[in-house]
Each structure stands twice: as C-alpha cells, then as structure tokens.
Chain A
Amino acid sequence: MAHGAKTFGRRAPFLSGAPVGGAFDYGGRVVALIDMNAFFAQVEQICNPSLKGKAVLVGGNPKKRTIVAAASYEAKNKGVKSGMSYYEALRLCPEAVIVEGNTSKYLDYCYRIVAIFREFTDLVEAFSIDEAFLDLTHVRNLFGEPEDVCRRIKDRLYEELELKCSVGIGPNKLVAKMAADWHKPDGLTRVWPEELPHILWTLPVEELVGVGRHMKRRLNSLGIETIGNLADYPQELLKRKYGVYGELLHQWANGVDDSEVDPGVFMTVKSMGHSYTLPYDTDDEETARQFLFWLSDRVARRLRSDGYRGRTVTLTVRNSDMFCFTRSRTLPAATASSHKIRDAAVELFRANVPPGVKVRLLGVGMSNLETATRQRELSIDSESAWDRVFEAVDGVKNRYGDSAITFASLVDRPKRMVQPKIGMFLTNREKGRPDSPLIPFAD
C-alpha cells in the first residue's frame, strides 16, 4: 500500500528500550500535519478529468525554460521529482502531460481545504499552500481520538473536493511533519512519543527537517550519519559550531519541538499581489501599462473582497535577461481602487524601466494593509464616487462572474490575458483558452 520505502506499523508495539517520560513526555499534546499529495497535479486532474490516471507535470509556461512545480504520482513513480526541468522529466516519463500552473486555482482550493479543517479546530496553521498543522490536543473531547478526527477530515476532503492527502500525527509539529512523509500518498501515520527513538534515530540525518544538502555534509564530517548520532552528540558542541541552529537541530533530533500551532500565520494577511509572465516579451509601454492595469484591478478586487485597503504599492519586473527587481511606493492614503494602484504601478514602471528594455514578467502587490471600515462615504469628491463605482462593479462580479464587467480600456486586452476563474466548474470555459493547447480535453 505504501509507496515509500519506509514502513512500520500504524501502532508499533511498545518498545521496551524506549524511554518513557523525561525527554519524550510531551504533556499530552497532539498535532497533525495534513499534506496534500502532489497538490497542484491533483487539482489539475480534478479540474480536467481527462488527466486522471495520467502522468501530469505542473509548472510554468512549457514554451519557456521552467521547472516542474508538482508531478502527479503517476509521474513520480517513474522517477520524476519536483524541481526537475521539463526536459529531464519528459526523458523519464515521455507520456507526461504538461499543464501550466494557475496559482489562483490552487489558492482557492487551499481556502476550501482550510475551511474544512476549521470545522474541527480553529488552531490551523497553514505551513505552505499544500500543508497545514492542526492542533488536536483539545479536539478529543469534541470529536474523539486524533486518528478518527483525521480520518474524518480525509473523508471530507475526498468526498467534497476529491483530494487525497497524507496525515501525520505526533506529539509536536516536528514529529507530525516527519510522520506525514512516511506514508505517501493517502496515508495516515500516528507516531507515539515512545516510538520516537526507534523510528527516528535509525534514519539518515538528512531526513530530519532542517537538514539540507550542506548541513548533511557538515554533520557527516563530524561523524554524524543518523538522526540518532545527532541526538547523542553533545548539544554544547553543536551550539558552538552552528549557533542557535545547532541547538535547535539537537532538540529536533531528540524529537523536541515546543513551537505552537500558530493560527495567526493564516489569519493575518500582510500583503496581496499578482504577477504574470507576459505571453511575449515586450518593450511597448502601452502593453505593459495595460497588463499593469489588469494586475492592479485583480489586486484591488482582492483587497476589496477581503475588506482591506493598502498603502504601499510594489512593482515587480523581470526583463528578458531574467533580471528581476522590485520597487515600492507608499501612497498618501490607503486605497483599494484599481486605477489608483495602477497609477502608482505605472509611475514606478516609467521611473525604473528604461525604454527599450524587454519585459518578461510584471507583478503588482499591495502591502501596509489596513482593514477597511464599513463607515459609508459621502459622495462628495471623485474619490468617494469611485468607491461607489467599485462597490457596484464588485456587486456585478459577485453575481455574474469576474468577466461580466471590466474597465473599457481592458476590454480590448492583449490576447491570453484572461485566465480562467478558479475552480472545477470552469473546465468548459477553460477549453476556450488560447494558451492551453497542451491540455487534451475529454469532452
């Protein structure tokens, strides 16, 4: 059943050699990590059922030099890994279908997933777009044992979103994270505190969270080959060699991790932004301006629908030499108006991109966010009149979809500017996308 090489019983028998209490007494904490397996590839397979059961590679525009961001398990089984170039991946798995990634679609799924988690506990920390920690310590009283809760979450994810995930349950975030990696895909692993030495310590040191290629080399040179070696190594020496990080690694090797599941990471939005790789490199200011307007409008709409206003506008530009830079400007007042964000972005563009430079990617972001008040404004000047306009526009978009209404100057937008709206219901509309010739549609 398991795809990984490492397997062990879901509830390994109590190991007589393992210490009880002391270093492994976790005060009854239970933390789960839920990892959506090959998330982007799964979502693409759901949105386009013809991709089901096929090897799918998700990444950037396949015509450009980009890498695989996610591969479906069909591709992974042939040796494809995230981070490979398309060329490498296709050599290993020639039948793979390449799909260009769509962040907003994945984010939308991410929100839906987290909404399900939140039905069980409000202590949800989004660790990345496809992983989240759940603190289940006190959930026991409400929904039962952590395994049962996680099984229910797994069922809900599959029934409602058709998504599969791996779950790791442990006494803290570190162990939960490592446990989730053991049974992939679609696994559920609980690691009991007393099992830790047996499971953890025999593993090679690079399996420990936080030990990368370079750290592995350094640790190996100290004679540390397994996590057990690291756990036995004097903490003082590690601290002297690698500072605070050395101390942390030693704790982790011993299965100690006091960090809390922090829901704030998900709750507080610090910035919002959209970037877009242009379908063709351009040095035409008018084209760039139009893309910037389109991006600004998307950012502004997101700000408005989440009830924010932002003060700092950040422009990201990557030119055809792949040189990338960002420039920011702080406005006199916080805004969520598309045209105001655009004006600032265009001004930044004009001031920082010399004529003749070919632009490859543009991004517009807003930070320095504040919550918009619900106090209505008098329509005394053009600014408050615009607020009314956007309110009406948002109303239309909420009712009839994002493409129902837009600025006149964006109607005649450059080809391929429209991205399909999030979600699985749009498969048919997606068909009309001029930039998706690589996706074979079943219907």
Chain B
Amino acid sequence: MKFFCSRDKLIKNLQIAQRAVDAKSQAAVLRNVLMDASGGKLNLVGYDHRMGIRTSIDCQIDTEGSITVPCALLIDILGVMQEEQVYFTLEDSSMKVECGRSKYNLSCISADDFPPFPKIEGKDTFEMEAGVLETGIRQTIFATNPDDHRAFMGGVLLNLEKNEIKFVSTDGHRLAMRKFDVPGGSLPTQKVIIPTRTLNELLRILPDAGEEKVKVTVDVKSISFTLDGVFVTSRLVEAEYPKFEKVIPTRAEGQCRINRTRMMGSVRGASIMARSKENRDLIEINVTDDSIKFTSSTQDVGSASEELEVVKKGKDIRVAFNSKYILDFLGAVEEDEVVFDYTEELDPGLFHTDMPGYTYVLMPIKV
C-alpha cells in the first residue's frame, strides 16, 4: 500500500471520521481509523458499532491496499507537518508517513480486524434537502434526554408520511416538534428514532452541505445518510415512540405575543437570580393586561423582575417555568415575534411563532 494526498484535506476528513472513532474502546482496532486506498480514492472509516462514518478524498495511488491506523495519533502527526503533500507507505504492519523532511512510523492493525458496517436490509431510500434535515435536527435535538432510562427519549423521532416530515423530541418535561410539508412528495411511511449522538455529528457535517440533497436510507435497525461524499450510518434507538400528539394542547384560554429578542434578554436576566438548590432556573411569569413580568428570587441572594409589553388575548396567568427550557425555544426559532398560549398554571404551555411548523410544549413547575 503506497499513496500520497493533500495534507489539509486529509486532516479535515480524518476529523470527520474521528467522530465515530471510540478513543476509549477496549478493542484497539476500534480506536483506529480504517484507511482504504483504491480506485483513485482514499476512504477513511470510523466505526464503533453504534455509529459509522465513511468519508473519501482524492489521492494518487501507487499500490492499492487497506490498513487501520491510530486515528488521534495520525491527526497529531499531520498537524505538526509543514508541507502540502503527505506520502504513505505500508511496510509490514508499520505505516511510514512522510512529509517534506519529516518521517514518522506508526504501528498499525490489519484491516481484516476492522468490523464491517452492518448490512442494510429491507430499506427505504429517499432524498431530503440538507437544509430541512439541519433545521429539523437543530430545532428538536435539545429536548432529548439520552440519560433517561426511557430509551425513546434518547433520540429524535423522524416521522415520515407521504408528503410530510416530522421531527419530534421530548425529555418528559417538554416536547419539540418541527413539521415540513413536502408538496407532491412520495415519502415512505416510516417512524424511526435517531440517537442524539448521531444527530449531533450530523449537525457538524451538515452546514458544509449547502443546498445539496441528502440521501437517506432507513432500515429496520439502522439509518444512513449520504451527503457531500460523507456516509453516516447509525443504529436506531430500539423503542416505540409514544403517541406524542396527545400532549400538544389543542385549546388555550389566553395568548400573548412577545418580541423574541427582548424576551430572551428578560428571561436571561430573571434567571440570574434563580439560584436556589431545589428550584434552580425557576422563573415566574405573570401575564396581565398589556404586560408580561418575569420574576425570580432566592433567599439570601436576592430577586429579579423584568417586564415587557405584550399583546394579550384572553385571561391573565401566573405560571412558573424552567428558564433554560424557555431559552432553548427562543434560541431555536428565528422569527421576531413569539407566541405563548396558556390555559391554567399547571397545564402545559404552548410556544410557537407565526411561521407554521414549529411547536414547543412546555410543562410548568408547581410552586
């Protein structure tokens, strides 16, 4: 095995593949990245049995072959090198890395020991805009809770119907849902839960994908995404997603419209004084005729009160929420104005904007 390629491109792609490399794995081969030089391409693969990433770059191949090398070590070496081209030569089980006058030798493990990606069976394949995938993930991922013992909370539900895509997440305290219409679409009917970790890695890769289409393949136990030369495969969360529609309030007894950036400032401000051990981040919201007040207090620390003008319909309300959860919502939308629908102080609050498609249900705190 002998080839050379661009050092910059190699580093960038190694860093992508590295996200699926388990640096703490007991098995040495899983701490490595698989390098496979064939057909004018260098494929880089990281895989930890739960998630796999394959990315490829152009290279000049002298002799084809494949081998696994310690991923973090290789990135460190490439980082200190100066020249643009880097040359690789495999001798027995040692990889010689040369760049200008730098020469390094890395002990390697045979590619035969590297686990193959699981076979995809009974698949449904379709295309999705990279922007849709990115927005859908970004607006829901924060409401998952991978630490909960209820497995379905450890990922985002991707709910596909003929011409509708829904991203749904919940951690038991709130539920975020983003809906996209796909006019004239012919999507397969699918309901799968994608692990939070996979989506986090996808989010890092997606901004580079621009306007491109992402090819999605759904299988019984796994899902894979192909975009811009990167292939990501992941096991699905094996759980049934509960009927989430029933927790979305269908009626409200009051509604107020608030400027988003101002509300963000007020909520942040009020949350500064919410420091007590048992009620961390608890802020009270008090909606009266034309104003909304955010207050908090902590014994021996102090109190805060922030007031904003609102356009209100219906009844007044006094309700307490975790300020972090409100800020998550305010950070996830981009519109200037947000809408807060409410019923009673112990009933779920519904946050949304005038742009249809995004719904955020938040449970209050009992005070």
Using a CB–CB cutoff of 8 Å, the interface residues on chain A facing chain B are 332-333, 371, 373-381, 383-384
B39 at interface (Cβ–Cβ under 8 A)?
no
Q: Verify B150–A375 contact, CB threshold 8 A.
A: no
Q: Verify A333–B149 contact, CB threshold 8 A.
A: yes
Q: Verify A374–B173 contact, CB threshold 8 A.
A: no
B170 to chain A: closest residue by CB: A380
Contact of B172 among A332, A371, A374, A380 (CB under 8 A): A380
Q: Which of A371, A374, A377 has the most CB of B within 10 A?
A: A374
Q: Verify A374–B366 contact, CB threshold 8 A.
A: yes
Find chain B residues with CB under 8 A from A375 CB. Answer: 173, 322, 363, 365
Closest chain-B Cβ to A131's Cβ sits at a distance in Å of 30
3 tightest A-B contacts by CB? A332-B149, A376-B363, A333-B149
B240 to chain A: closest residue by CB: A381
Closest chain-B Cβ to A305's Cβ sits at a distance in Å of 15
Cα(A374)–Cα(B148), bound, Å? 17
Q: Verify B279–A381 contact, CB threshold 8 A.
A: no
Cα(A113)–Cα(B101), bound, Å? 84
Cα(A373)–Cα(B280), bound, Å? 10
Cα(A55)–Cα(B42), bound, Å? 94
Query: What are 23 A-B pairs at a CB distance below 8 A?
Result: A333-B148, A333-B149, A371-B278, A373-B278, A375-B363, A375-B365, A376-B363, A376-B365, A376-B366, A377-B173, A377-B363, A378-B170, A378-B173, A378-B247, A378-B348, A378-B361, A379-B246, A380-B172, A380-B175, A380-B244, A380-B246, A381-B150, A381-B242
B346 at interface (Cβ–Cβ under 8 A)?
yes
Interface size of B as a range: 20 to 34
Find chain A residues with CB under 8 A from B244 CB. Answer: 380
A376 to chain B: closest residue by CB: B363
A371 to chain B: closest residue by CB: B278
Q: Verify A374–B367 contact, CB threshold 8 A.
A: yes
Q: Verify A378–B366 contact, CB threshold 8 A.
A: no
A384 to chain B: closest residue by CB: B172
Closest chain-A Cβ to B295's Cβ sits at a distance in Å of 17
- Across chains A and B, the number of contacting residue pairs, with CB separation under 8 Å, is 47
Cα(A381)–Cα(B175), bound, Å? 12
Q: Which of A332, A374, A378 has the most CB of B within 10 A?
A: A378
Closest chain-A Cβ to B150's Cβ sits at a distance in Å of 7
Cα(A380)–Cα(B239), bound, Å? 14
User: Which of chain B's residues 156-187 have a Cβ closer than 8 Å to chain A?
Assistant: 170, 172-175
Cα(A421)–Cα(B244), bound, Å? 41
Closest chain-B Cβ to A331's Cβ sits at a distance in Å of 8
B364 at interface (Cβ–Cβ under 8 A)?
yes
Given contacts A378-B247, A379-B247, 13 further A-B pairs with CB under 8 A are: A333-B148, A333-B149, A373-B278, A375-B173, A375-B363, A376-B173, A376-B346, A376-B363, A378-B170, A378-B361, A378-B363, A380-B244, A383-B150
Closest chain-A Cβ to B248's Cβ sits at a distance in Å of 10
Find chain B residues with CB under 8 A from A374 CB. Answer: 278-279, 365-367
Cα(A384)–Cα(B173), bound, Å? 10
Find chain B residues with CB under 8 A from A378 CB. Answer: 170, 172-175, 247, 348, 361, 363
Find chain A residues with CB under 8 A from B247 CB. Answer: 378-380
B277 to chain A: closest residue by CB: A371
Contact with A along B73-90 (1 / 0, CB 8 A): 000000000000000000
Find chain A residues with CB under 8 A from B363 CB. Answer: 375-378
Q: Verify B364–A376 contact, CB threshold 8 A.
A: yes
A381 to chain B: closest residue by CB: B242
Cα(A376)–Cα(B175), bound, Å? 13
